[in-house]
Amino acid sequence: MKLLRLAPENTKFPFMRFRRISYPFSALLSIASVVLFLTVGMNFGIDFSGGTLIELRAKSGPADIAKLRAAAEQMNVGQVEVQEFGAPTDVTLRFGLQAGGDAAQEVAVGRVRAAIGDGYEVRRTEVVGPRVSGELVQSGTLGVVISIIAVLCYLWFRFEWQFAVGAIIATMHDLLLTVGFFALTRLEFNTTSIAAILTIVGYSLNETVVVLDRIREMMRKYRKMPTDELIDLSVNAVLPRTIMTATTVFLALLSLVVFGGEVIRSFSIAMIWGIFVATYSSVFICSPMLIYLGLRTETVGSAPPAPGKLAKSPA
C-alpha cells in the first residue's frame, strides 16, 4: 500500500497562511473569466448556435483534410469547419444556418454531400434550428442554477451557515473559472459541456463537504485550538484522500481525452480542468472563508459522548 500512497500521512502544511495570496489570485482569475465571457464569448456548438454537423469516415485510407477544406471553399454554404477526430479516417464538417429556413438548410446539406463525393461514408447528420438552440440555452442554464440551489440548501441545513456560505463561494468560483476556461481555450460549448459543468459542481461540492465534515469533527474535539490551526489540521488529515481521488479521476478522464473521440472531448478536457479547480477551491477558498466568517468552536454542537458511556439523566 505504501507504493500506492501519493501523499504522506500526518503532514503539517500551513495551508491557511496562503489565504492572503489565494484570495487575490482567485479574484483576479474570476474577473478575467467574466471579462473573457463578455468580450470573447463562448465557442457555441451547433446545439446552441444552430447549424449542421456531418460526420464522415473515409472508405479507404486516412481522410484527406486538405482536400476536404479545399472542397469546402467551393460549397457556397458559408464558413465550413473541417476537423479530424478519433481515428485518421474520421472527420467532421460543420457549417452555420442558411438564410431561407429549413428548405435552404436541406439544400446546403445536399450540396455538401455532393461535393464530398463517394470516397466518404456519411455516418451522422445533425441539424439544429435557432429556436431549438435558444431553448437549449435556457434549459441548460436553468438546470445548472436549480441544481446548485438545491444542493446548497441541503448544505445549509446539514452544516452551520458559515459552512454553507463557504461552499457557495467555492462553487461559484469553480463555475466562473470553468466558463473562463471555455472562453479562453475556445473549446466547443455544447450540451455535453453543460453535463461537464454539472459534474464539476458535484465533484466540487463533494470535495468541499469532505473537508467541511472533517473541520466540524475537529472543532468538536479540539475546542480550545485556534481556528486557523484547526483548519490546517483538518485539511492535512484529508489530504491523502483528496490527492488520491483527484489522481484516479484524472487518469480516467485522460483516457477519455485520448480514446473517447470528438463527441465527449470537450466534456473530458473541461472535467480535467474542473478536478484541479475543485480541489484547489475546497482547500484555499472554502476553508479560509470560515475564518473570515468568524466561525468559532462554540458555534458547533457539543461533542458526542464517548462510546460505551451513557449520559446521566438529570435528577
Same domain, 146 and 159: yes
3-state SS class at 223: coil
Identify the pLDDT of residue 36.
93
Are 55 and 81 in contact by the 8 Å Cβ rule? The answer is no
pLDDT in tens, 7-39: 667 778 888 888 889 899 999 999 999 999 999
Task: Look at residue 1 and tell me if it is in a domain.
Answer: no
CA distance 171 to 274: 11
Same domain, 22 and 157: yes
Same domain, 291 and 145: yes
Count of domains in the chain?
2
Are 297 and 309 in contact by the 8 Å Cβ rule? The answer is no
Residue 311, pLDDT > 70, answer no
Are 92 and 53 in contact by the 8 Å Cβ rule? The answer is yes
CATH of the domain at 208: 1.20.1640.10
State the pTM of this model.
0.74
- Write out the residue range of the structural domain in which residue 150 sits: 13-43+133-299
User: Which ranges of the chain does DSSP label H, i.e. alpha helix?
Assistant: 19-39, 46-49, 65-72, 101-116, 130-158, 161-185, 191-221, 227-259, 265-281, 287-292
pLDDT in tens, 263-296: 678 889 999 999 999 999 988 998 888 888 887 6
Q: Which residues of 162-201 are buried (b: 16+ CB within 10 A; e: fewer)?
A: bbbbbbbbbbbbbbbbbbbbbbeeebbbbebbbbbbeebb
CATH of the domain at 60: 3.30.70.3400
Q: Please give the grid coordinates belonging to residue 5.
A: 500512497
Task: Look at residue 20 and tell me if it is in a domain.
Answer: yes
CA distance 288 to 280: 12
